Structure 1
Amino acid sequence: MIQPAPGNQVVLLRNGAEYFPALETAIASARREIYLESYIYDGDATGWRIAQALAAAARRGAAVRVLLDGFGSKTLARALLDELRGAGVRVMFFRPEVSVFALRRRRLRRLHRKLAVIDGRIAYVGGINIIDDSHTPGQLPPRFDYAVAVEGPVLTDIHRAARQLWMRVAWSQLRWRGNRRWSPPPYQGNGGAMQAAFVIRDNLRHRRDIEAAYLEAIGGARREIIIANAYFLPGRKFRRALIDAALRGVKVVLLLQGRVEYLLLHYASRALYGVLLDAGVEIFEYHRSFLHAKVAVIDGCWATVGSSNIDPFSLMLAREANLVVIDAGFAATLKESLARAMHDGARRVQPAHWKRQPSYRRFFSWAGYGVVRWLVGMAGYGRKYDEV
């Protein structure tokens, strides 16, 4: 059971248009330390803007540490890396890719967190990578995604998690020199009135924490559950929780990916539509652009924003980070944003129409589902694969 801490201020940020200016401003004010983690860091205009802000902070004397995933950011331009490292920014890659042909099971265990912590006074948590989200196929609108800006006592947990992972990766790569230790003092700001908890998933002590937070909130829901998730392929326990909620009269609404981004996951997630629709779950597919959000609102009070999809890769393999917020005002803001997205850019899946779909589509859906489960099984759970 998570224990939200009181006294926090959490601000919802929609898409890169709101997130990146806020992040740049915070970086520009950094004096002591910056941690930044991202699955994808792209060398586009957005990536360069953030890189220049990080480099400037390092030149001012701040300790700037950037941790990127070795698969998601494997194509990052050498010129951008040189810009960062030349200014004194320390950059490391989590499990760097050695060869595209290497069939190691641990390749599926990725760093999928997207967060930043600046001077221990403000943090950003969410699903937005360092990439221009307006670069979409066919000149579609920007990817639909969220992050949050966080101030308050919960920063202690966010800073600790960022530092611990950085040190673990540094030691695994024999790069521990230059990691001067600085612990921010206890938060002294005004904070706010919101309760918040930082919840992570790793392959050590916190394997099930994010899923457990969802299941606890879903199990206690009495009125409404709204989940927006880009890659939705929940396990049996999660599906059962949603179905049980719908059967006891809770309105359950899912906003899912409507466009084909990854063909395998596109078909696999649809294998579960039938049983959910039969239980009364409402499913909307977002078509206006690519959905990348990983958020939820439950009973108008509980909300979460983060990096974790509801699929086997996020819930069983990757390192993820979500913020849970207990606050009616924040939940209302997120719910309003989701309602607008469903109204303007989504189509509801009608149960009667779904039942009439061709049999070959059902076959592809269940085949995709089976392949995904097989891949997850191949990744294994043994301690042999729990190292960084």
Structure 2
Amino acid sequence: MNNARWTAGNELELLENGEEFFPRVFEAIAQAEQEVVVETFILFEDKVGLALNEALLTAAKRGVQIDLTIDGFGSPDLSEEYIGALCRAGVRVHVFDPGLRIFKWRTNMLRRMHRKIVVVDAKLAFVGGINYSADHLLDFGPQGKQDYAVQIRGPVVGDIHRFVHGALADGLRHQQGKRWFRHRPLMRKRAKALPPAGDAQCMLVTRDNTRHTNDIERYYRLAIRSAREHVTIANAYFFPGYRLIRELRRAAQRGVEVRLILQGEPDMPIVKIAAQMLYHHLVRAGVKVYEYCERPLHGKVALVDDRWATVGSSNLDPLSLALNLEANVLIHDRAFNQTLRAKMDHLVDHACKQIDRESIGEPTRLQLLRSYFVFHLLRRYPAWLGGLPRHVPQLVPAGAGADTLTPMCPTPPQGAAQ
């Protein structure tokens, strides 16, 4: 479903936080002429979720074809009114692994659909880490998240468009009467290559539980291994496998400036505890570790030297690297790197504290024992987690098999759009 390749001729724009991201997405939906595809992990029924609902309803009522995919774990509490209005307007709402609740416990905690992608008219795409919730806005308060996405025009949008439709087709393949996804003439028409829109080379890289289990991590490692001057990684949930830690240490030891920007004010305390277990290994090898202390960091971005960068949904933790469905865009473009580096420099200079050897101190025996355990856990956990049940949760219409998403979106008749 995903044949990753570098594609030239793209125009990119970095979007920071919901203040920049949401208006662009809603404007793109308002201008859509034929089709909108949205994938998101979290969709809350707050002011942002209601604004998305209104944008999709307005587009659907003027005849735009819309597919909205949400994750059953990340978006479990949407009301019947919210989903029903979309369904009645013709929006196809799909739930990834809605799961069941047993005594109020959710059973769909692993292998989540964590991607955040929007494609409009197969000409404009958005990829990043921003969900549709008010906690991605600064006016949310101290818990408002710091995050990033990228707006894309150009030929790589065709790759992203094919991917999201392949994901829909694969997810719905098990349902009788859903094969119309593969055969609509409109889709074949839109498969034509898009003209160049800029100078950037891009590649969509995804992670799944079948053929692309470690693609995103592998591209991270390759980029770090090739670094000659500079590496910056800003990542919300940082507890990667041993091989990625090893590449970071080796890069620092050969003289590359390696900076990690991690959560100092985490939305979940375990996040900081896990990352802190790695500080001795990283700092003693020359890696510069910074904790972002202004608000919770939710970003998943990185840059290497003056050309390579990535923006996407993938954290560098066990869930994202070994279980979740993720999507990142890789970028070769000096201008984009300069913009992203300026953003990262601003965080380091104005909103971070550096974790140095003095602040860590000499490790105690207990810390050394814990480090020994963490070291071996990091060497093994990708394989262990990969051994968990590899069922591939399916997409279902909103309400089918979910106890909170009750409305059933209508299914087009067998011969629809042939």
TM-score by length of 1: 0.91
1:317–1:241 Cα change, 3 Å: same
Match of 1:69 in 2: 71
* Within-5 A mapping of 1:309-328: 309-328=315-334
Taking the aligned partners of 1:355 and 1:208, their CA distance within structure 2 comes to: 35
* Within-5 A mapping of 1:289-308: 289-308=295-314
Moved more, 102-111 or 124-133: 102-111
1:103–1:215 Cα change, 3 Å: farther
Structure 1 residue 123 corresponds to structure 2 residue 125 = yes
Match of 1:14 in 2: 16
1:102–1:41 Cα change, 3 Å: same
Match of 1:385 in 2: 391
Match of 1:209 in 2: 215
* Within-5 A mapping of 1:1-388: 3-99=5-101, 107-134=109-136, 139-140=141-142, 142-174=144-176, 176=178, 179=181, 181=184, 182-183=186-187, 184-355=190-361, 379-381=385-387, 384-386=390-392, 388=394
Shift of 1:212: 1.2
Given that residues 218 and 245 in structure 1 are in contact (C-alpha distance below 8 angstroms), is that contact kept between their aligned partners in structure 2?
yes
> Which residue identity lines up with residue 61 of structure 1 in the other structure?
G
1:326-369 deviations in Å (ceiling 9; x for gaps)? 01000000000111112221111121211257887888888899
> Which residue identity lines up with residue 320 of structure 1 in the other structure?
E
Moved more, 161-170 or 129-138: 129-138
Shift of 1:209: 1.0
1:104–1:26 Cα change, 3 Å: closer
Taking the aligned partners of 2:98 and 2:39, their CA distance within structure 1 comes to: 14
**Structure 2 residue matching 1:31: 3-state secondary structure:** coil
1:221-267 deviations in Å (ceiling 9; x for gaps)? 00000000000001111011111101111010000011132233321
Gaps of 5+ in 1: none
Given that residues 38 and 112 in structure 1 are in contact (C-alpha distance below 8 angstroms), is that contact kept between their aligned partners in structure 2?
yes
1:302–1:135 Cα change, 3 Å: closer
Moved more, 210-219 or 374-383: 374-383
1:132-154 deviations in Å (ceiling 9; x for gaps)? 13568992173110000111111
**Structure 2 residue matching 1:217: 3-state secondary structure:** helix
1:25–1:96 Cα change, 3 Å: same
1:177–1:80 Cα change, 3 Å: farther
Given that residues 39 and 113 in structure 1 are in contact (C-alpha distance below 8 angstroms), is that contact kept between their aligned partners in structure 2?
yes
Given that residues 64 and 89 in structure 1 are in contact (C-alpha distance below 8 angstroms), is that contact kept between their aligned partners in structure 2?
yes
> Which residue identity lines up with residue 239 of structure 1 in the other structure?
I
Taking the aligned partners of 2:50 and 2:260, their CA distance within structure 1 comes to: 35
Moved more, 125-134 or 36-45: 125-134
Given that residues 274 and 354 in structure 1 are in contact (C-alpha distance below 8 angstroms), is that contact kept between their aligned partners in structure 2?
yes
1:175–1:82 Cα change, 3 Å: farther
Give the number of aligned pairs.
388
Taking the aligned partners of 1:321 and 1:202, their CA distance within structure 2 comes to: 9
Moved more, 54-63 or 258-267: 258-267
Taking the aligned partners of 1:372 and 1:251, their CA distance within structure 2 comes to: 23
> Which residue identity lines up with residue 237 of structure 2 in the other structure?
Y
Given that residues 296 and 305 in structure 1 are in contact (C-alpha distance below 8 angstroms), is that contact kept between their aligned partners in structure 2?
yes
Taking the aligned partners of 2:221 and 2:106, their CA distance within structure 1 comes to: 31
Taking the aligned partners of 2:35 and 2:312, their CA distance within structure 1 comes to: 22
Taking the aligned partners of 1:12 and 1:335, their CA distance within structure 2 comes to: 11
Shift of 1:177: 6.7
Shift of 1:78: 2.5
Shift of 1:105: 8.7
Taking the aligned partners of 1:62 and 1:284, their CA distance within structure 2 comes to: 45
Given that residues 7 and 202 in structure 2 are in contact (C-alpha distance below 8 angstroms), is that contact kept between their aligned partners in structure 1?
yes
> Which residue identity lines up with residue 124 of structure 1 in the other structure?
F
1:130–1:103 Cα change, 3 Å: closer
Given that residues 123 and 158 in structure 2 are in contact (C-alpha distance below 8 angstroms), is that contact kept between their aligned partners in structure 1?
no
Taking the aligned partners of 1:39 and 1:70, their CA distance within structure 2 comes to: 8
> Which residue identity lines up with residue 303 of structure 2 in the other structure?
V
**Structure 2 residue matching 1:108: 3-state secondary structure:** coil
> Which residue identity lines up with residue 225 of structure 1 in the other structure?
V
Gaps of 5+ in 2: 395-418
1:62–1:370 Cα change, 3 Å: farther
Identity across the alignment (%): 37
Shift of 1:24: 0.6
Match of 2:409 in 1: none
1:172–1:104 Cα change, 3 Å: farther
Given that residues 242 and 379 in structure 2 are in contact (C-alpha distance below 8 angstroms), is that contact kept between their aligned partners in structure 1?
no
1:57–1:177 Cα change, 3 Å: farther
